[in-house]
Amino acid sequence: MRHTLLAFAVTALLTACSSQTPPAATSAPVATADTAAADTAFAAFGKRALDDWMRLSPVSATQIGDHRFDAELDDLSATGRKAALDANKALLAELQAIDATKLSRENQVDAAILRSALESSIWDTEVMQGWAWDPQVYGGLAGSAIYGLMAREFAPLPERIKAATARMEKIPALFVQARENLDPARVPKIHAETAAKQNKGILSIVATFITPHLDTLPKEESTRTRAAIAALEKAVVEQQAWLDKTLVPNAKGEFRIGAEKYDQKLKFSLSSSLSRAEIKQRAQDEMRRVREVMYGIAQTVLKDKPGAPQMPATPTPEQQQKAIEAALELAYADHPARDKVVDDAKASLKVATDFVRAKNLVTLADSPVDVILMPEFQRGVAVAYCDSPGPLDKNLKTFYAISPIPDDWSQAQSESFLREYNGKMIHLLSIHEGIPGHYLEGWHSAKHPSVLRGVLRSGLFAEGWAVYTERMMQEQGYLNNDPLFHLVQLKFYLRTIANALLDQGVHVDNWTREQAMQLMTHDAFQQESEAAGKWVRAQLTSAQLPTYFVGAQEHFDLRDAMKKQLGEKFDLKAYHDQVLSYGAPPVRYVRALMLDEPIQ
């Protein structure tokens, strides 16, 4: 649902993108009277759409950085959904009437992104209908409504608490909408159970960010906020009872979305020319290649080690497996303590930053980043994520969030997790989520004049870039060319490859848990706890896991194409800065702009 809301958001933001000067690196056609007129019409289109979107999607507006509607909450009732759907259809019809061939190349890209986003939003509402079967839509919206106001200091604390109070007063009605809209017969059991686990997390946001400051507020405001908190607590208890006693026991839906819906959703998610079959074949080929490279490293690091397995030049599949597993054991031995994962992430982020600076690999950011424990209401899907400020919120903190080891995990579960997230893997996580990955990419993207691209940053571009940087840092000699770091980097890359195979295996090929775990724990060498968590994620999401692999392939292909074009003039830092200068549209549009290819 967050994607759906943001898809509607693009209509609000064309003003900021269509009237700006493109980055110097962009190849643009010579301006003509027709181009100027088309760009003007495109800008006017955005201006008319702006206030409507902000009014209909206030939580996403807050995330973007427009704070005019911070006291409001999205309406997911039948009436509210119809209003958004009608608006999207009207906007799409109006956009289709604009001759995109007459737009500047920058605006051709924005028009293509906008068209795809509107079509995706309409399809999501009418066909996927997450509002009818996914309870995380409502819990996620409720949590984001408060967290988006309180996590960053975009305004004085009393102002943000006042807005949060107004939203807390509206959240009970949102829970009523959830109970009215969700059909237990369509809700998958895993979605119901996850929502039930996350539900109380919204109260932890209030306890962390609001309750400690109640005594600092004027008496009248404090009284209102306390009453809103009390009402919210009551509503959360009622929602929990409904989740536990009604939804979870009666959840009978199928979490697999099937080939037809998967292919359509994949098209919107990736905006790539690769089909499902092509992605599968390329991933299978890449997995074989990477495992062969890992075997070569294993031969090096295990040479002359007592008890090392047999490592012939041409190994059997079993010999290859045992050698790589034995080599990985050397890396697993160095892992953080159970309560030191966040500390190690902070330290590794500094090491990665210093390395990028010393090697002059890309322009570094000048805005802050904090490594934090993942908020409770967002746990249960990913181990870590990067939360950048909205494109209209300038110079605010980025959060590199890590989910803690659950308190109820056994020693064996914790040890499995820490073997997966060993010292070298923590470095890769900080590269991926921090520098030069998501955090740095988000900082560069926010500088592009098109706010549209900031709102609809391509997941394919962002995830592909983060995976690309993992390999790039290893190629540049990170951690003194440590072969075990290279081995773990390749293992992390195997996870990316496995993600693409897992996603369609689950949602199209009806894989069982056993098939999924075989791919992850055997073929990709993941630990049991990591693979078990990914199995849950594969059930909860669809068409997102392939973005890592497909995006990385397109980034690697683009770099190869630029090297071929520029030859000896190719400079890695200049290349990285140029790639990041376009505001993170789908990679194929970056390629078109950089290589002066047609914009499809």
**pLDDT at 380 (0 to 100):** 58
In this structure, what DSSP letter does residue 247 have? I
Q: Report residue 18 CA to chain centroid gap.
A: 26
pLDDT(14) > 50: no
Q: How many CA atoms lie within 13 A of 430 on its CB side?
A: 27
Q: Residue 411's pLDDT band (boundaries 50, 70, 90)?
A: confident
Number of CB atoms found within 10 A of residue 463's CB: 26
CA distance 24 to 14: 20
> Please, which pLDDT band fits residue 43 given cuts at 50, 70 and 90?
confident
Q: What is the largest CA-CA distance in the chain?
A: 78
pLDDT at 40: 86
The confidence score (pLDDT) of residue 416 equals 81
Average pLDDT over residues 315-337: 95
Model pLDDT for residues 412-461, shown as the tens digit of each residue: 888 888 888 899 999 999 999 999 999 999 999 988 988 777 778 899 99
Closest CA to 172 of 242, 89, 246, 78: 242
User: What does the pLDDT read at residue 449?
Assistant: 86
The pLDDT of residue 530: 84
* pLDDT-based confidence at residue 373 (cuts at 50, 70, 90): confident
| Percent over 90 (pLDDT), the chain | 72
Question: What is the model's pLDDT at position 554?
Answer: 96
pLDDT at 446: 87
What's the sign of the alpha-carbon dihedral 75, 80, 81, 87?
A: negative
- What's the mean pLDDT in 379-389? 76
* pLDDT reading at 23 higher than 80: no
Q: Is residue 15 predicted with pLDDT exceeding 50?
A: no
Residue 564 pLDDT > 90: yes
Which has the minimum average pLDDT: 13-27, 62-76, 238-252, 485-499? 13-27
How far is Cα 456 from Cα 222, in angstroms, rounded to an integer?
Answer: 37
Of 34, 44, 161, whose CA–CA distance to 91 is shortest? 44
In this predicted structure, what is the pLDDT of residue 378? Answer: 66
- Structure tokens of 354? 């210093």
115-124, 393-402, 580-589: which range is least confident on average? 393-402
Mean pLDDT, to the nearest integer, of 242-262? 98
**Domain regions of the chain by residue span:** 1-128, 132-255, 341-595
Q: How confident is the model at residue 382 (pLDDT cuts 50, 70, 90)?
A: low
- What pLDDT sits at residue 45? 81
Give the least confident one: 54-63, 248-257, 589-598: 54-63
The yes-or-no verdict on residue 22 having pLDDT over 50 is: no
- Nearest 5°: the CA angle 93, 96, 100 is 160
